[in-house]
Amino acid sequence: MSSSTGGRRRTQEERSAATVAKLIDATTNAIIEVGYAGATTREICDRAGVSQGGLFRHFPTRRDLIVATLDHIYVVRSAAFASVVEPDLGGESAMGIAAQLRRVRDFVRDPISMVFLEAVMASRTEPDLREGVVSLLQRAEREILAIASRNPVVARMTDQSRRVWFDFAQQVLWIEALWATSLPEQAYDDMKIDALVRLMFVLAHGRSE
């Protein structure tokens, strides 16, 4: 394989960055296709075409590679998420908010979201992984809450009510993502979206719409 790009020999930094990108892509795809436990360093190296020695030169442990992969996915998915949500997340219309939440639900159900879910579940018994996962989840919560607060209904909630609604919505959507491939119930899932919308108005106004 040529080590040049457009006739120019790549620098060590460029080669290193290319190897890291291969490893992160391979880790992402491995977790999606064979699960967290199946994404061993051997599996990842085989997919990336990188030796295990090459992997450990860039990432001292498998945990470091997993956390770097989660961080990379988060950055990419955050940009994609921003393009999915409308400026006011459906405004004050219950119908508009429900439509927006269905788009968010579809976003969460993307296979790449399973990488986060698998890492969260694995972190229960892996303290070293837990630290990186918790840090990323806290960052995500702050940023998504800020986005959600652009909706005028959410903005009228108290801080505590906003957190309650966010946690409830997040748990419903993430658990649905786990069940969707095995137990798809579209009509029932839409009812849960409608319930989330009603809860928004109850928490914001003390009444349902």
Among 111, 204, 94, which Cα is nearest to 158's?
204
Percent share of the chain, pLDDT over 70 = 94
Average pLDDT over residues 52-63: 96
pLDDT confidence bin for 1, thresholds 50/70/90? very low
Mean pLDDT of 83-102: 92
Q: What's the CA gap between 18 and 23, in Å, rounded? A: 9
Average pLDDT over residues 72-87: 88
Q: Distance between CA atoms of 99 and 104, rounded to whole angstroms?
A: 9
Residue 2: predicted pLDDT: 46
Q: Please tell me the pTM assigned to this model.
A: 0.83
Q: Is the pLDDT of residue 208 over 70?
A: no
Where do the H-state alpha helices sit in the chain? 12-38, 41-48, 52-58, 62-84, 94-108, 113-122, 127-148, 152-155, 159-180, 186-205
pLDDT recorded at residue 177: 85
Q: Using the predicted structure, report yes or no on whether residue 5 has a pLDDT greater than 70.
A: no
SS3 7: coil
67, 129 in Cβ contact below 8 A? yes
Average predicted confidence (pLDDT) for the chain: 90
Task: Note the pLDDT of residue 74.
Answer: 92
Could you tell me the CATH superfamily of domain 8-60?
A: Homeodomain-like (1.10.10.60)
pLDDT band at 207 (very low <50, low <70, confident <90, very high): low
pLDDT tier for residue 32 given thresholds of 50, 70 and 90: very high
Per-residue pLDDT reduced to its tens digit, 129-170: 999 999 999 998 899 889 999 999 999 999 999 999 999 999
Contacts of 137 (CB under 8 A, 6+ apart): 120
What pLDDT does 6 receive?
57
Asked if pLDDT for residue 172 goes beyond 80, the answer is yes
